[in-house]
């Protein structure tokens, strides 16, 4: 359905209107590279929904993480969250995801693609990067040695039909009434089919936005905007760089992989989190993967 090349994203260019991009599920992306002893910035293939197949032109060492797409190697089932050898001529098939939304295919040494402004990430709306289509050939590094590794069970993510996202409240939260905030935290929303890499659109009981107009300002990853209809929008990797809707706050960075893997109709609830707690969890994640 959609395959793109992604790394951690493109930073420092928002003032020029360029989106960040990068792997939506940074947890799965980082594990795909860690299994292969790749640097964490090494590009992976982000496969959305599934229904993709790849043929090896040389011997390869690969890793697959993220959504369970019932992978097959030459028709034989292939377990998720592990590395594996793929010999020349073999075909890797990813079927429709039965759990989660996005799988990550890592290659030992990565993909030999040019870096644009410090990143190989694809942002379709900016016309940057590589969308992989039928018959495309990807320049990759051949395997020099085969090592099979797997993610420890306690770090393997699961993608339920109901998720809780923690919110770091922003300075604009004071503009919302107490009733509006109580309503927001007490309500359950569902992810709509209009969601994409730019933003997650939610549907539920509307949140009453504060009156008046705001000056457009930069938008952080995970920002929760409240447009006039009161239906929250969570801005994601390919978001626009400026926006003027009021914002409740941001989803904690470590919780965003759950949203990246949420399928349409997933039920979502919110809870506040202290800034120090969210920062500590993100620091621990960054330390583990050497971000």
pLDDT tens for 212-269 read: 878 999 999 999 999 999 999 999 999 999 998 999 999 999 999 999 999 999 999 9
Closest CA to 208 of 189, 192, 227: 227
User: Rounded to whole angstroms, how far apart are CA atoms 200 and 250?
Assistant: 13
Q: Is 11 left (phi over 0), alpha (psi -120 to 50) or beta?
A: beta
In the numeric block, which tokens belong to residue 192?
């709509």
Helix axes 275-289, 26-35, angle to 10 degrees: 20
User: Rounded to whole angstroms, how far apart are CA atoms 283 and 291?
Assistant: 9
What the chain holds in terms of domains, given with CATH numbers, is: 2-155 (no CATH), 162-289 (2.40.100.10)
User: Rounded to whole angstroms, how far apart are CA atoms 108 and 290?
Assistant: 18
Give this prediction's pTM. Answer: 0.95
Going by pLDDT thresholds of 50, 70 and 90, the confidence category of residue 79 is very high
Residue 278 has pLDDT above 80, yes or no: yes
User: Rounded to whole angstroms, how far apart are CA atoms 19 and 6?
Assistant: 13
Residue 172 has pLDDT above 90, yes or no: yes
How many CB atoms are closer than 10 A to CB 128? 17
Share of the chain above pLDDT 70, in %: 99
Query: Which helix (DSSP H) or strand (DSSP E) does residue 280 occupy?
Result: helix 275-289
In the numeric block, which tokens belong to residue 190?
């569902």
pLDDT for res 113: 87
Query: Which helix (DSSP H) or strand (DSSP E) does residue 258 occupy?
Result: helix 256-260
């Amino acid at each position: 359905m959609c395959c793109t090349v992604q790394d951690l994203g493109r930073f420092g260019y928002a003032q020029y209107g360029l989106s960040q991009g990068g792997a939506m599920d940074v947890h799965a992306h980082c594990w795909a590279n860690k299994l292969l002893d790749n640097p964490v910035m090494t590009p992976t293939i982000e496969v959305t929904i599934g229904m993709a197949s790849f043929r090896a032109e040389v011997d390869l060492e690969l890793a697959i993480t993220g959504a369970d797409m019932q992978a097959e190697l030459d028709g034989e089932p292939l377990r998720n969250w592990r590395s594996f050898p793929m010999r020349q001529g073999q075909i890797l098939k990813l079927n429709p995801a039965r759990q989660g939304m996005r799988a990550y295919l890592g290659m030992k040494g990565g993909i030999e693609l040019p870096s644009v402004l410090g990143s190989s990430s694809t942002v379709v709306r900016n016309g940057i990067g590589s969308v992989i289509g039928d018959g495309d050939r990807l320049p990759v590094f051949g395997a020099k040695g085969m090592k099979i590794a797997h993610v420890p069970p306690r770090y393997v993510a699961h993608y339920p039909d109901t998720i809780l996202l923690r919110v770091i409240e922003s300075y604009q939260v004071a503009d919302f009434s107490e009733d509006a905030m109580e309503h927001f935290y007490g309500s359950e929303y569902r992810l709509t089919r209009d969601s994409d890499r730019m933003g997650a659109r939610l549907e539920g009981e509307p949140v009453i936005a504060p009156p008046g107009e705001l000056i457009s300002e930069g938008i952080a990853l995970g920002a929760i905007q409240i447009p006039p209809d009161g239906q929250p929008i969570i801005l994601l990797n390919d978001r626009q760089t400026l926006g003027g809707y009021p914002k409740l706050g941001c989803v904690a960075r470590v919780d965003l992989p759950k949203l990246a893997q949420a399928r349409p109709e997933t039920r979502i609830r919110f809870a506040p989190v202290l800034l120090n707690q969210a920062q500590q969890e993100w620091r621990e994640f960054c330390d583990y993967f050497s971000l």
